[in-house]
Amino acid sequence: MDTITARTIHLLTALALFAAGSGALVACGEVKAEGPDVRAAEPAPKSKARARQVAAAWDGSAAAAAWRKGYYPMEETVQLPEHAFRTDADKRAYTTHSFVLRGQLPTGSPKNGQVKWESGGSLTLPVTGARTAYETLANGGDKGSHLTVTGAKLGTTTLATSRGPATVPAWLFTLKGYDTPLKQVALRPSKLPAPPIKPAAEVPGDDLWPLDHLVEAAADGRSVTVMAQHGACDDGAAVNVLETGGSVVLYASITGEKDGACTAQMLSQKVTVKLHRPIGDRILLDAFTGRPVPYGERHGRSPSWS
């Protein structure tokens, strides 16, 4: 990588704070800047070359074969009741994981459950118990505003995965004041296969930066939206794409530079990248890490497979 600039040092400081935990992130002043629908810039030659290396390593690899056989959620695995939330207090309670249990949770459940894909095929995985699922939701305590859980039963739900839409087991939690349940998927993702390529470097540089996470893929598969990071003294993040028959490699960078003092502040920007053809079963990869782009925020409710 090129010599690290002062701006990159500020970004790395912010990234270190971010990795240390959500408390540190708030301390350094998180800002989520909404970017335009499509954000791209002329990529550095090294960045594009790295994207080609990542695509070549994954396409046709044992890791890619394992990925296509596994269960990897690509959207939030907690699904809200219809018309949620009734009040700002309820929304705040959900955001802060504030729940109270006023009922009995099932003590037994099937040992295993099945992922069933709309396109065909299935996969059997261990079922997470109701108590474990509840504790994932309710790890913020019950002080102040809270949501009240009155019971739960095992059912199913559908969600997007790396292999397309699937029906999966889910715990259906009844909430006081709501006619439909809050659903929590009752399966953990498959283990991520060992990537066939190492990260680009120990630390990022302006011309190649790791992505934070996938927000969503468009219903028609012709675009993906990701959260990309940048600092307080630049023009924002840019995300370019390299498409092959087996993969879609995104490579992010930091654009522009502003004069003056720069705070160690990490900003998150939503970026939508258009594709030449639907993503289909191609693997969405991050050029910097050499790994699939994870879904969901750090410290979020959805268990990470990254």
Structure tokens at 270: 């939503």
Are residue 83 and residue 175 in the same domain, yes or no?
yes
Residue reference for tokens 């990925």: 67
Are residue 210 and residue 236 in the same domain, yes or no?
yes
Tell me the three state secondary structure of residue 17.
helix
Q: In this structure, is the dihedral angle defined by the CA atoms of residues 203, 72, 181 and 130, taken in order, positive or negative?
A: negative
Are residue 84 and residue 65 in the same domain, yes or no?
no
Non-local CB neighbours of 28 within 8 Å, separated by 6+ positions: 14, 17, 18, 263, 264, 265, 266
The predicted structure's pLDDT at residue 301? 63
Are residue 83 and residue 167 in the same domain, yes or no?
yes
Do 44 and 253 touch, CB atoms closer than 8 A? Answer: yes
Q: Does residue 278 lie within any of the structural domains? A: yes
Total number of domains constituting the chain:
2
Q: Does residue 284 lie within any of the structural domains? A: yes
Q: Does residue 105 lie within any of the structural domains? A: yes
> In the predicted model, what is the mean pLDDT of residues 21-27?
31
Are residue 168 and residue 200 in the same domain, yes or no?
no
Closest CA to 281 of 161, 111, 154: 161
Are residue 41 and residue 107 in the same domain, yes or no?
no
Q: CA 129, CA 107: separation in Å to the nearest integer?
A: 8
Q: Which residue pairs, CB below 8 angstroms and at least 24 apart, start in 90-95?
A: 90/145, 90/147, 90/177, 92/145, 93/144, 93/145, 93/146, 93/147, 94/147
Q: Does residue 176 lie within any of the structural domains? A: yes
Are residue 180 and residue 200 in the same domain, yes or no?
no
Q: Does residue 303 lie within any of the structural domains? A: no
Are residue 19 and residue 104 in the same domain, yes or no?
no
Last residue of a domain, one of 185, 219, 247: 185
- Ranges of H-type helices in 97-226: 130-137
Last residue of a domain, one of 185, 203, 221: 185
Are residue 243 and residue 209 in the same domain, yes or no?
yes
Q: Does residue 306 lie within any of the structural domains? A: no
Read off the pLDDT of residues 38-50 as tens digits, 9 standing for 90 and up.
444 555 678 999 9
Are residue 165 and residue 200 in the same domain, yes or no?
no
Q: CA 298, CA 20: separation in Å to the nearest integer?
A: 11
Q: What is the DSSP letter of 281?
A: T
Read off the pLDDT of residues 93-105 as tens digits, 9 standing for 90 and up.
998 999 999 999 9
User: Is the full-model pTM beyond 0.75?
Assistant: yes
Are residue 170 and residue 266 in the same domain, yes or no?
no
Expressed as residue numbers, the domain containing 223 is 6-69+194-292
Q: CA 287, CA 299: separation in Å to the nearest integer?
A: 23
Q: CA 136, CA 301: separation in Å to the nearest integer?
A: 7
Read off the pLDDT of residues 247-278 as tens digits, 9 standing for 90 and up.
999 999 888 666 666 666 777 889 999 999 99
Q: CA 7, CA 234: separation in Å to the nearest integer?
A: 8
Structure tokens at 33: 């800047």
- pLDDT band at residue 20 under the 50/70/90 scheme: very low
Are residue 151 and residue 246 in the same domain, yes or no?
no
Residues in the chain: 306
Q: Does residue 301 lie within any of the structural domains? A: no
